Amino acid sequence: MIKLTDEMHTLVNNARDSGNPCLIATASADGTPNTGYMGTVLSLDERSFIYRDRSGRTPLEHIEENPKVIVIFRHAQQQTGWKFRCTASVHRQGTVYEDAIKRLTDAGLITDPEREAAIVVLQVQQVLTLFGEVLQESEQGIAW
């Protein structure tokens, strides 16, 4: 079972302000990798994150082809961090999109909510240490 801790919520939600943005890693259906820093990651609930992608390019194409995504968070000063293996979905309009834009705006993570973008919802399937030790799983022995 996945249950993000208070520490995970606090550190990830304040990642941009602390200078420790999340790293998002994707791969296309043929395995072509892509990665980038994302300063708008916000915990949505006890099992998921959201972020806004303004690029409209490779990361979204990869997610739509292959929804397996890894989010890496590391807070160097506190010497802590995690890998979150997630299943992603892309939302360009509708209730999920509108609710996420409002939450990100209210959190101060975006200041231009009218700008065309996509919302990516990340359902956490596994939480690992930065060294790969499994801390939590949605299903025991989940294969990645």
pTM of the model: 0.92
Residue 141 clears pLDDT 80, i.e. is over it: no
∠ at Cα 93 (87, 94), nearest 5°? 90
Task: Please check whether residue 34 is in contact with residue 62, taking contact to mean a CB–CB distance below 8 angstroms.
Answer: yes
Domains identified in the chain and CATH numbers? 6-137 (2.30.110.10)
Q: What is the pLDDT of residues 44-81, one digit of tens each?
A: 999 999 999 887 666 788 899 999 999 999 999 999 99
In a 3-state reduction of DSSP, which class is residue 31? coil
Task: Please check whether residue 49 is in contact with residue 12, taking contact to mean a CB–CB distance below 8 angstroms.
Answer: yes
